[in-house]
Structure 1
Amino acid sequence: MAKELYVGHMSYEATEDDLRRLFSVAGTVTSVHIITDPETGRSKGCGYVRMLTEEEAKEAIETLDGALLRNRVITVSVARPQKQATRPAPRRGKPGPGGRPGKKRPS
């Protein structure tokens, strides 16, 4: 089990300090991050909490999944690894007469 936890369904008014205080009942919180909209800076209602040990992370899930935080019932689960953004492979050269790069039209 990972030490990074995903917290969902949070109140938009919840702060990182609120999360830190709540999760400290399960152990040592090493970091807290609330996801915000880059344009408005407003919370998106979810965030991440990192616990010191895997045992504390497990305890946090068991204890706090379904807990009330600022009048909202939150969900707590193991955070999934972040996916790397994949970009399509760059095209090399200009398309040939057949519409595909490197292909020649038969004579």
Structure 2
Amino acid sequence: MAFYNRVGSLLRQGISQNGQAPMASMLNSARYMSSKLFIGGLSFSTDDTSLKEAFSGFGDVTDAKVIMDRDTGRSRGFGFVNFVDEEAANSALTAMDGQDLNGRSIRVSVATERTGPRPSSGGYRGGEGGGYGGGYRGGDSSY
């Protein structure tokens, strides 16, 4: 019991000293440790070149990629921008989040690694063996 009281005391002390919980402080620091940004809400007319041009004013962009649907060839409405340094990425994040790009308000955040299995692209299956239409049942949805 004394251990939990001590941990609680340390957490309260950390909050009172800087106004934030220690974990929140660490997460905010980690948020600004990447030079790769996720850009959401892109117009379907935005391509790699126009995305790079929109962000190049904040620093050297090494790569800008709009993610395309492999079946239709259309933009999926999001992309990624890589900067040479973190400072440029932070400037772009602050300045561009919520701004208009090609007629759409975009969302800009630090890109994070995808964890866990990738979602299936086979449509709604309704759980383990469900789905509608009586087609393929079970396993991987890629035929």
TM range (shorter): 0.7 to 0.9
2:113 is equivalent to residue 72 of structure 1: no
SS in 1 for 2:72: coil
Question: 1:41: which partner in 2?
Answer: 73
Q: Supply the distance in 1 between the matched residues of 2:93 and 2:53 (Cα, whole angstroms).
A: 15
Structure number with higher strand proportion: 1
Q: Does 1:16 align with 2:57?
A: no
Q: Is 1:4 matched up with 2:36?
A: yes
- TM-score normalised according to structure 2 size: 0.57
Shift of 1:67: 1.4
> Sequence identity of aligned pairs in percent?
37
Measured after TM superposition, the shift of residue 33 of structure 1 is: 1.1
Q: Which amino acid aligns with 2:68?
A: T
- Please, what TM-score do these two structures have when normalized by structure 1? 0.76
Matched, 1:27 2:59: yes
Give the match for residue 94 of structure 2. Answer: 62
Q: Which amino acid aligns with 1:54?
A: E
Aligned-partner SS, 2:65 = strand
Higher relative contact order (CA 8 A, sep 6+): 1
Structure 1 unmatched ranges of 5 or more: 87-107
Matched residues, number = 86
Kindly indicate which of the two structures has a greater share of residues assigned to helix.
Answer: 2
Give the gaps of 5 or more residues in structure 2.
1-32, 119-143
